[in-house]
Amino acid sequence: KKTEAWSALFSEPMSELVKRYTASVFFDKRLALADIQGSLAHAAMLAKQGVISAKDHEDIQRGMAQIRGEVESGAFEWKLDLEDVHLNIEARLTQLVGDAGKRLHTGRSRNDQVATDVRLWLRGEIDLISGLLVELQEKLVDIADKNVDTVMPGFTHLQVAQPVSFGHHMLAYVEMFARDHDRMQDVRRRTNQLPLGSAALAGTTYPLDREFVAQQLGMEGVCQNSLDAVSDRDFAIEFTAAASIAMVHVSRLSEELVIWMSQNFGFIKIADRFTTGSSIMPQKKNPDVPELARGKAGRVVGHLMALITLMKGQPLAYNKDNQEDKEPLFDTVDTLKDTLRIFAEMVEGITVKPQAMEQAALKGYATATDLADYLVKKGLPFRDAHEVVAHAVKAATSHNCDLSELPLAVLQQFNPSIQKDVYDALSLRGSLGARNTLGGTAPAQVKAQVERHRARLSQQ
């Protein structure tokens, strides 16, 4: 009596432990709809090529329609004994429509089947993620637009460096997420190629029309080497790399939000619904969401390491190692989607505190470079101007005031060419407005970038 799908050859049933160890159905059932979609395209092609009859094709379509309903309603009964999503669906099909179900696997192997399923599934997820990346960018552009003129200290080494527009700072993240979107589109192209028709590893003896199947599935091309087609998981590694980079961008933003909402900065508030309290300290509002996002970036980078390491020792062609691609890939998708969604909402709920930002900018001599530039315009070589300003900063430090608060007579001691107009250069707004080069922080530039991003995003 047959005990397993392949078992005429086997003299004893698989051990229970091995069964559990090798089964993937409890996670790969997530591929069910992609599996059905792939099978329907394969069956249509087999019928068109005369490999199966029109009647068999109809039976398969009817059976698969019922199975899809069962999967969607949750009524489908997944069996560990049937190992994975592919064998579960095929067994149910045969139960429903008889011999036609047994003919479906003609010219096909689970090796090209699973590679196809994962690609189909991931393609859909990439589209959802791309949409979420656009939404997050839109929210960041909105907050940037409202804060084109909001001055904050820009930092290097987390030391006050030069005044920047808060809007400009937000648009830096828009650039990052725009590149993430771009990377996703690029990965999509290479994901959207058809392995099916490669069979186990060498191709098949049946007159398959692979281009037809690719067309049915909306795929851009057909994998051109059967050995590569069944064993390549580059697309999953590449996707996880792109996801890791996006999570790192989220993590950098998270780190800034955590710093900005600390009492020592007080630059922003995030809406209460994104914070949590403390069970002991009644005054606390903790930035749990950005902190968790920062932590989850590590989790996704870990998945990238898992996938790339999974591949490194594998000889051609398919090896069971590849079954281990699914959990890291699924979790990467889930984590990235949840994170992008929650961030779009959280960014919308940020309250900006312009006064705190300005105060902080006034504290750190953020306009020192502007004084040096002023002196250069009066004819001093930049290196000499740099030195003069260092003395002025020292004086301001001992007077415990900002450069702009030093009297003209004091400033003139450092260099006689300094005139009353120096105070325009030393003001935060003067400093901001002066950086009016492409990509600079002047409000006119930031406003232009806001418009450029709006136009770009409306096309996506």
The residue ranges that bind ligand ARG (CB under 6 A) are 24, 28, 84, 110-111, 114, 320, 322-323
Phi, psi of 433 (to 5 degrees): -65, -25
Q: How far is the CB of 314 from ligand ARG (least distance, A)?
A: 12
Q: How far is the CB of 81 from ligand ARG (least distance, A)?
A: 14
The H or E element spanning position 159 is strand 159-165
How many helices (H) and strands (E) the chain has is answered by 20, 6
User: Which is nearer to ligand ARG, 111 or 193 (by Cβ)?
Assistant: 111
In the structure encoding, which two tokens stand for residue 114, read together?
Answer: 């699973």
Phi, psi of 411 (to 5 degrees): -60, -40
Q: How far is the CB of 350 from ligand ARG (least distance, A)?
A: 43
User: What gap in Å lies between CA 127 and CA 264, rounded to an integer?
Assistant: 41
Q: How far is the CB of 109 from ligand ARG (least distance, A)?
A: 7
Q: Which entry of 53, 262, 278, 417 is annotated as an active-site residue?
A: 278
> Is 278 assigned a catalytic role?
yes
The string of DSSP letters for 369-425 reads HHHHHHHHHTT--HHHHHHHHHHHHHHHHHHTS-GGGS-HHHHHHH-TT--TTHHHH
Angle at 178 between CA 174 and CA 184, to 5 degrees: 145
User: Which is nearer to ligand ARG, 147 or 323 (by Cβ)?
Assistant: 323
CB count, 10 Å around CB of 18?
A: 10
Contact of 235 with 190, CB cutoff 8 Å:
yes
Q: Which entry of 11, 157, 279, 458 is annotated as an active-site residue?
A: 157
> Is 386 assigned a catalytic role?
no
User: Which is nearer to ligand ARG, 85 or 442 (by Cβ)?
Assistant: 85
Note if the bond before 317 is cis, omega within 30 degrees: yes
Q: How far is the CB of 279 from ligand ARG (least distance, A)?
A: 43
The residues annotated as belonging to the active site are 157, 278
